[in-house]
Structure 1
Amino acid sequence: MRLAAVFLLAALPAAAQEFVVVPGPLTDEEFYRAVACAAPPGDACQKPILRWPEDKRQDLTVALVSVTPALLPYQRAIFEAGLDAALGQINALDAGVRLTRIAGGRGATDIAIHVVATPPGQVMEDTGVEGLDGNVLPLGRVALRARDNEIREALIAISAQARRREIASILLEEVTQALGLMTDIEGPDYRRSVFAETGNSVVRLEGQDAMALRRHYRGAPTADEES
């Protein structure tokens, strides 16, 4: 995603690789390992592989926890519709996870989304959320709290200044990344992927994007996990 960042909280590397550069099309295995653990083609994982615990996967809750007062009602409606569409795309895959949207504050939901007034490239302030305040917001940011390779909580921040035509795509990618697929891909063959580093236009999970999410929760472990 253009101008996006994934940040790991807890006992995990603080400086995580944001994207993998690929020269051409990848096999399904290469694509999965790239988005799941930042592995360049034919190379080792650069990030830990993280998943939600099995006992939560069929009822992961998602909430639009806070929205800046600077957002006009019609703008909020765009974020609301984009979030519903993102959850619909993910649930339709039968990928081994199911997301339920709730109305609730942080602590009452697994994946908490905040629409903030911070302009892209500026430091977030006054959100009141540890893990967001004090960090630069490129355009969207995902912060994962994890322990023993299991995700415990996901925080998503999106700038209210995101362009209208990009909002649905940003939400789809951020929620997908909150499921553990944390790395973008940079390459001419992947401009129409939800994981594309240089664009925010994809609003459907198809092809290798869909394969990667199914593989993450339904497929066999990678060699990195078995070793």
Structure 2
Amino acid sequence: MKTALAFLLLASAAQAQDHIAAQGPLSDADFYRLVACAAPPDQPCQKPLVRWQVERPLRLWVAPLPEAYLGGKAKRAEAAINLAIKELNGSGAAISLARTDIKTVADIRLFFLDQARGEPIQGTGLSSVDGARLGGATTRMQANVAKGEILAAAIVVSTTLGIASYEGVILEELTQALGLMTDIKSPAYVGVSVLSQDGNRVTRLGAQDKTALKQHYPPK
């Protein structure tokens, strides 16, 4: 019997898609359900709950950056990646990330492509990614929905994304690649949560971002 796989497209604030609107600050429980399974307050989940089920750090591989990123963009991208890893590893959740230079062993693959927003993705070599429409940044995830298990994830960044947004967007995309798949649209979370649908300049996890990660990956 074949295992059923679902390919879930995670949209970031850079794409201004895939969000749930909410009024005012939510309780920790409601915030978690919104970002983890797209559940509006007091309503059922609209997406499956999925998470990584590994006992080791997740391996993040970053593809070589094309010439379009040489210079300041490459340095800013590298700094953004390191900052995001530090934030997530310090969240208190029972999940962590570590860089790897070996593409074939990576759990999460990160690509900075010389392609503009709106173009079909090309050149990653991943059938679940190539051909999809590229946003400012796009995350695609392969999961065994029946088991609630994330199997692989890929993040693609376009040249359209402004350099000033690198830190916030990379942190958001990596957070979503951990299973918190849905943005929240609410004035209460602008400038507060990395998962706010409006704006992408938050470069640190908010208090409820950390709480949601710890609920998704409870500390042991």
For the aligned pair, the TM-score class normalised by the smaller chain equals: 0.7 to 0.9
- TM normalised by structure 1 equals 0.85
2:150 maps to amino acid? I
Matches within 5 A, 1:196-211: 196-211=196-211
Structure 2: distance between partners of 1:168 and 1:203: 6
Contact preservation (8 Å) 1:68, 1:160 = no
State the match for 1:10 in structure 2: 5
Shift of 1:125: 2.3
1:123 maps to amino acid? P
Contact preservation (8 Å) 2:36, 2:49 = yes
Matches within 5 A, 1:40-55: 40-53=40-53
Report whether the alignment pairs 1:130 with 2:120.
no
Report whether the alignment pairs 1:109 with 2:106.
yes
What is the CA RMSD across the aligned residues, in angstroms?
Answer: 2.0
Report whether the alignment pairs 1:143 with 2:140.
yes
Q: Which runs of 5+ in 2 are unaligned?
A: 12-16
Q: Percent identity?
A: 36
- Give deviations 1:1-49, integer Å, cap 9, x for gaps: xxxxxxxx93367799811111211111000000000000100000000
1:115 maps to amino acid? F
State the match for 2:166 in structure 1: 167
Runs in 1 of length 4+ with deviation above 4 angstroms? 12-17
Structure 2: distance between partners of 1:120 and 1:13: 19
State the match for 1:78 in structure 2: 76
1:203 maps to amino acid? T
Q: Which runs of 5+ in 1 are unaligned?
A: 1-8, 220-227
Distance 1:13 1:114, change over 3 A: closer
Structure 2: distance between partners of 1:10 and 1:72: 37
Contact preservation (8 Å) 1:57, 1:98 = no
State the match for 2:190 in structure 1: 191
Distance 1:37 1:190, change over 3 A: same
Contact preservation (8 Å) 2:8, 2:140 = no
Report whether the alignment pairs 1:91 with 2:105.
no
Structure 2: distance between partners of 1:50 and 1:20: 18
Contact preservation (8 Å) 2:9, 2:140 = no
Distance 1:11 1:162, change over 3 A: closer
Structure 1: distance between partners of 2:10 and 2:59: 28
User: Per the alignment, in what secondary structure is the counterpart of residue 70 of structure 1?
Assistant: helix
State the match for 1:21 in structure 2: 21
Distance 1:67 1:13, change over 3 A: closer
Structure 2: distance between partners of 1:13 and 1:74: 32
Contact preservation (8 Å) 2:9, 2:139 = no
Distance 1:191 1:57, change over 3 A: farther
State the match for 2:14 in structure 1: none
Shift of 1:118: 1.6
Structure 2: distance between partners of 1:112 and 1:172: 14
Count of equivalent residues: 208
